[in-house]
Structure 1
Amino acid sequence: MAKLLMAVIVAAAIYVGVSDTFEQDEPVVVIHNSEYWNLKDPLSIQINDQSGMLSYRVILKTQKENFELAQEMLVTPNKELKLNIKPPKRLFGLKEHDVTLYIEAGDASQWNFFKGNRAVVTKKMIIDKKRPQVSVIANSRSITQGGSALVIFKASDDNLNSLYLESSNGKKFYPQTYLKDGYYASLVAWPVREKNFRMHIIAKDLAGNLTKKYVPFYLNNKTYRTSKITLKDRFLDGKIAELAEEFVETQGVTDRIKRFKIINEDVRAKNETLIHNITSKVPEEIVERLQITPFYPLKNGKKVASFGDHRYYYYQNKRVSESYHLGLDLASVQMGEIKTRNPGKVVFSGDNGLYGNMPVIHLGMGLYTLYGHCSSVDVNVDEEVSAGMKIANTGMSGYAMGDHLHFGVLVQGTEVRPEEWMDKQWIRLNIEDIFKSAQKVIDRS
């Protein structure tokens, strides 16, 4: 009898130890919100328990009073609860900023003399209902499709979390602090392929309050050249076959049109992705202004291909591929000297597929210059270059049929019209004068 009783006790102990009915773990409470709350977005709370939840209570505590946000007694135990609690209207007039979120949860376990397990979680929170303040101080009067502009603005918030400019196609441009804290400057760009354009400054604080400020530009739509290019067998079996030997993407591809299409589209996209990644970076230091001398990289350089040219390729009267020419092609003498007119820092120097030997230089504020198809390059990554310094020689490397320079200008990873940055009057009206105007406003403040 004693042995039987002992066996029963042992079995009961084992059952209590392994059964969910007698589990001993407290409910797990997770608050997904940050410590800041704007009283607009719901509180996101998750509660998990092995035996299942039977009750929970959510209270917002201030120094003067408590606000019950949610409370429920469950008929059937629930192992996972996901709560999205909207703030009650009576909280909107709350003037206190420092509060405590109190969550109490009880499970269905028979442990603790059938009282179950109970969890209490508290979190200090800051109530922030105020949106960031944003105002445009100065900006370029107009922007041209495929072109650039400058925006200088003021933004303030005690809990500012993110700040950027966003175009209507979703491209984000990140500003630098201008002159002193609270003031910002950014170059922006209208992509050549986008017919429509709008720009907003987006400021968001830690509580999720958001301000969207429109930047007023006069928009100049521009019609770029469209070219119809007929592919010749000599070209496909010559230059394209030669390039195909270099690229992994075309190994084993014998069909001449398929091979051209891979090079013109897939390899080009890969090369452009590298360029966009390199040129999307913006310094974090304070900027005072951007002093730019008009670009003139090649002495006596003659334009042989335009920026923005939309090229359609045909073979036997059938369209087989297309691409955009996102730079300005200049030619002078064979292996002509390429010189930079502005100081900067080399951020890339090497081969980039269709672009051949290609140095890229950062001039400040996310403004970059690119030099493609070089026969030789004289500069290395991280090297500082000075105005008038020879950096390379023109050539035929990459996808080039004759000795020339492919000159590209990019603003935070977006190709823009080099002609603007080669025009002294455009630079004065759209860059220099904007900085001067903004500085006058800031000096008076």
Structure 2
Amino acid sequence: MRFVRLFVLGVIIIGSLGLAGGWYLAGREAGPAITIASPEKFIGRAGTAAVTVESPTTVGRVNVVLEQNGQSSSVASYAGAAAPQTRVELSGSVGKASQPALVNGPARLVVTASRPVFFGLRTAESTATRDLTVRLDPPRIAVVSIHHFINPGGVEFVVLRASPEDVDAGVLVGDDDYRAYPGAAVGLADPALRVAFFALKHDQDVNARVSAYARDEAGNVATTALDHQPTNKKFLQSKIPIDQGFLDRVVPAIASNTPELKIDTASPEGLLKGFLAINGDLRRKNADTITALAAKSRPEMSWKDAFLQMGNSQVESRFADRRTYFFDDKEIDRQVHLGFDLASVQRAPVHAANTGIVVFADFLGIYGNCVILDHGLGVQSLYAHMSSLGVKPGDSVTKGQELGRTGSTGLAGGDHLHFTMLLQGVPVNPVEWWDPHWMEDRVFRKIRDAGGRR
């Protein structure tokens, strides 16, 4: 009996020690992993805090609070759910609108999270913090330049004053955002000065609101109306007949370069269907590629005079021609031609319209062999349907330098150059850019008036 009592006592002691050890070790287990997605640096008048909590076991509780000057306010919380969760995403409002006591200065976002351990008898906790700056004063924005004129497909240039120095600035035309660049790009010494080109798209309401804006990292925004004079513009309507010979020549060549379209080139019906996919779906995909290339534009103005039109060329189609396509005398499609078709002799040399850097030189769907040059400040030029390319991405080119030769690659009826100007990836009318008087009066004069060099 004595032995039994000693045995039971030993079991109790060992069990107690095991429980104590388990309790102790459970207290040293790691809490849930916490990720603070936002805000990153600043808090303004209104914003969102986004937090993700992940745990190898059930997430217990999560609290998100904002601390400043010894005071704290709740942003979001989680106290469990009917179904156990190993991943919890929380969001809550942060800013003066939701925490009225906030003032300019430092603040801290604190996230605490727990999970049950040791059979739910203990919890393992973790904490994550992020130091932030509360910025409640809105930035300032003013329009410095005068005389702004705009028409569908056209471009205008503006000089802005934005502060503080770290804010983003630009021009909104309707919902379209045209970013501004530091004034140093055109020789302006004042760090508050910014410059921007903005456009009215060919199909945009001529009375679209045009405003300048400044936006800081805290989300504070200031806007001001940009005084301008809009004028309407009519574009040509044209009929484009398509025959079987054109489909036989053009569609298979494009299909071989874009296998993802899965075009049937073995039958007349497949070729016609393929043409419609090329003229619509591929056209839009190519436009997306062109828009993405705008991100490569440099913060400098590389040109000093007007752009060159292709020498000894005849205009075959103009910017924003409204085209209706016919096959067997039946209307099959409608598209807008966003450039100039310029014809000269076959395999004519294609020259750079102005100084720039090659950002694209390859086959590009409807444009065939294509070159795109970046001239800085969001301005680029496009050269399409070329038979051969003489440059590669990254090459610096000078005004008048040969880029390649004209041809009929892509969606082209014959040997010619399709040329257009681009602003932040938006096709715009080249006529203005070819005009020395427009360049002097609408761009260079404004730069000199603001104290720059051009």
- 1:337–1:259 CA distance, 2 compared to 1 (3 A): same
CA contact (8 A) 2:43 2:94 kept: no
Counterpart of 2:276 (choices 245, 257, 261) is: 261
Give the partner amino acid of 2:133: I
More displaced stretch, 318-327 vs 268-277: 268-277
Aligned equivalent of 1:230: 241
Aligned equivalent of 2:304: 291
Distance (Å, rounded) in 1 between the aligned partners of 2:113 and 2:101: 28
CA contact (8 A) 1:52 1:77 kept: no
> Superposed, which structure 2 residues align to 1:96-135 within 5 Å?
97-100=105-108, 123-135=130-142
- SS of equivalent residue, structure 1 residue 145: coil
Could you tell me how far 1:273 is from its partner in structure 2? 3.3
Aligned equivalent of 1:320: 332
> Superposed, which structure 2 residues align to 1:9-20 within 5 Å?
13=18, 17=22
Could you tell me how far 1:154 is from its partner in structure 2? 1.4
CA contact (8 A) 1:69 1:85 kept: no
Counterpart of 1:213 (choices 224, 232, 240) is: 224
Unaligned runs of 5+ residues in structure 1 are none
Could you tell me how far 1:334 is from its partner in structure 2? 3.1
Aligned equivalent of 2:71: 67
- 1:109–1:193 CA distance, 2 compared to 1 (3 A): same
Aligned equivalent of 1:302: 314
Aligned equivalent of 1:365: 377
Aligned equivalent of 2:160: 153
- 1:11–1:259 CA distance, 2 compared to 1 (3 A): farther
Could you tell me how far 1:357 is from its partner in structure 2? 2.9
Compute the TM-score of the two structures, normalised by the length of structure 2: 0.77
Counterpart of 1:203 (choices 193, 214, 221) is: 214
- SS of equivalent residue, structure 2 residue 309: coil
Distance (Å, rounded) in 2 between the aligned partners of 1:55 and 1:420: 59
More displaced stretch, 128-137 vs 310-319: 310-319
- 1:414–1:111 CA distance, 2 compared to 1 (3 A): same
- 1:171–1:5 CA distance, 2 compared to 1 (3 A): farther
- 1:5–1:189 CA distance, 2 compared to 1 (3 A): farther
Could you tell me how far 1:130 is from its partner in structure 2? 0.7
Aligned equivalent of 1:38: 44
Question: What whole-Å deviation, never above 9, does each CA across 1:231-254 have from its counterpart, x for those lacking one?
Answer: 333433444455545542354343
- 1:68–1:218 CA distance, 2 compared to 1 (3 A): same
Distance (Å, rounded) in 1 between the aligned partners of 2:257 and 2:53: 57
Question: What whole-Å deviation, never above 9, does each CA across 1:87-109 have from its counterpart, x for those lacking one?
Answer: 68897576562345567778887
Distance (Å, rounded) in 2 between the aligned partners of 1:290 and 1:257: 43
Query: Are positions 1:194 and 2:204 aligned together?
Result: yes
Could you tell me how far 1:72 is from its partner in structure 2? 11
Distance (Å, rounded) in 2 between the aligned partners of 1:270 and 1:41: 34
Could you tell me how far 1:298 is from its partner in structure 2? 1.9
Could you tell me how far 1:415 is from its partner in structure 2? 0.8
Compute the TM-score of the two structures, normalised by the length of structure 1: 0.79
CA contact (8 A) 1:107 1:118 kept: yes
Give the partner amino acid of 1:154: R
Aligned equivalent of 1:143: 150
CA contact (8 A) 2:158 2:195 kept: yes
Aligned equivalent of 1:414: 426
- SS of equivalent residue, structure 1 residue 429: helix
Unaligned runs of 5+ residues in structure 2 are none
Aligned equivalent of 2:195: 185
Distance (Å, rounded) in 1 between the aligned partners of 2:101 and 2:371: 59
- SS of equivalent residue, structure 1 residue 373: strand
CA contact (8 A) 1:54 1:108 kept: no
CA contact (8 A) 2:107 2:132 kept: yes
- SS of equivalent residue, structure 2 residue 335: strand
- 1:46–1:8 CA distance, 2 compared to 1 (3 A): farther
- 1:238–1:34 CA distance, 2 compared to 1 (3 A): closer
- RMSD value, Cα: 4.2
Question: What whole-Å deviation, never above 9, does each CA across 1:139-167 have from its counterpart, x for those lacking one?
Answer: 5511111111112111112653x444343
How many correspondences in the alignment? Answer: 433
